[in-house]
């Protein structure tokens, strides 16, 4: 691939970042309305259900989630939305709605050459979201629902770069160069998108794990959760080096707890694939 084309692409990407012109489709109204409703501390199950009922697809996905093995250990089937919301909890309803919206954003590309790469990023995002969730829940001192969102949105910058590359056919046709660009830029692009979507700075900052440095004795953070989740998913066996040991110690992940975490991840990931696809 000519160096000139990659240089032009990087210059345009840098200009997008500097001008805060990083854009993906906005969330559908139902997601915005759910987030608005949950900002009210007096929000009831009935009120939330009334918002959810405006989107038939989301209703169906929540019923699937409520009856999944992860959320329905007793095997008692639920067909009523109000009961499904009670079983899942408000945060799971919110995250399922956001996940469905992100899934639709991933599926929106009409570029035939991108389908395989987008599917791979989406599958990786769902898996990372589930692993981040179970690690945070196991730790007990990190919000597991926020950890799920961190994992889900962690690679959204890769999607933006991939779709933008459709205007640069030589770059798009050079997987090695394209991956190098994604590896270098996805975190900065992703933070810009996450902030534009109105998520907290804590979630945006969870992408800062490339040059992660932890302070001795410092409290665990969402950065630690996502960093450790990526290590666990990429390793055949848990490693004993400092990169693994430091966040693992903070988050109560050890040789004894890891099998339980891996099992919970598989169960949660299967539940998410059933309810939102992927």
Tens digit of each residue's pLDDT, the chain (278 residues) = 567 778 889 998 998 888 877 777 788 899 999 999 999 999 999 999 999 999 999 999 999 999 988 888 888 898 999 999 999 999 999 999 999 999 888 887 666 778 888 889 999 999 999 999 999 999 988 999 999 999 999 999 999 999 888 888 888 888 888 999 999 999 999 999 998 888 988 899 898 765 455 444 578 889 999 999 999 998 765 555 666 777 888 898 988 899 999 999 999 998 888 877 65
Distance CA 59, CA 168 (A): 40
User: Can you spell out the DSSP letters for 238-267?
Assistant: ---SHHHHHHHHHTT--TTTHHHHHHHHHH
Q: Write the CB contacts of 7 (distance below 8 Å, at least 6 apart in sequence).
A: none
* Model confidence, pTM: 0.89
Supply angle C-alpha 261, 264, 270, rounded to 5.
140
Domain locations in the chain as residue ranges: 1-22+111-278, 26-107
Asked if residue 171 lies in contact with residue 181, where contact means CB atoms within 8 angstroms, the answer is yes
Q: Which CATH class is domain 1-22+111-278?
A: mainly alpha
Pair of tokens at residue 153: 């949105």
How far, in Å, CA of 181 to CA of 232, rounded? 24
Q: Residue 237, Cβ neighbours under 10 Å: how many?
A: 7
How many Å apart are CA 48 and CA 85, to the nearest integer? 8
Distance (Å, rounded) from C-alpha 276 to C-alpha 278? 7
Q: Which of 28, 278, 26, 24 is nearest to 161 (CA)?
A: 24
């Amino acid at each position: 691939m000519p160096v000139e084309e990659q240089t032009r692409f990087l210059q345009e990407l840098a200009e997008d970042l500097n001008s805060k012109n990083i854009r993906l489709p906005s969330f559908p109204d139902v997601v915005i309305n759910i987030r608005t409703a949950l900002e009210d501390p007096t929000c009831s199950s009935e009120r939330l259900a009334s918002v959810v009922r405006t989107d038939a697809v989301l209703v169906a996905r929540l019923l699937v989630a409520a009856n999944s093995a992860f959320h329905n250990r007793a095997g008692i089937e639920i067909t009523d939305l109000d009961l499904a919301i009670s079983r899942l909890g408000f945060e799971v309803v919110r995250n399922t709605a956001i996940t469905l919206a992100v899934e639709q954003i991933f599926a929106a590309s009409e570029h035939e050459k991108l389908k395989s790469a987008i599917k791979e990023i989406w599958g990786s995002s769902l898996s990372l979201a589930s692993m981040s969730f179970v690690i945070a829940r196991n730790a007990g001192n990190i919000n597991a629902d926020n950890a799920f969102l961190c994992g889900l949105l962690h690679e959204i910058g890769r999607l933006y770069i991939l779709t933008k590359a459709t205007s640069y056919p030589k770059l798009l046709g050079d997987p090695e160069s394209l991956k190098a660009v994604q590896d270098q830029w996805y975190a900065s692009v992703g933070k810009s998108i996450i902030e534009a979507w109105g998520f907290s700075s804590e979630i945006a900052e969870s992408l800062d794990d490339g040059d992660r440095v932890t302070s001795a004795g410092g409290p665990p953070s969402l950065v630690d959760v996502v960093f450790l989740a990526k290590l666990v998913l990429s390793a055949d066996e848990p490693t004993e080096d400092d990169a693994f040991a430091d966040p693992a110690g903070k988050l109560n992940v050890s040789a004894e707890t890891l099998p339980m975490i891996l099992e919970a991840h598989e169960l949660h990931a299967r539940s998410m694939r059933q309810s939102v696809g992927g």
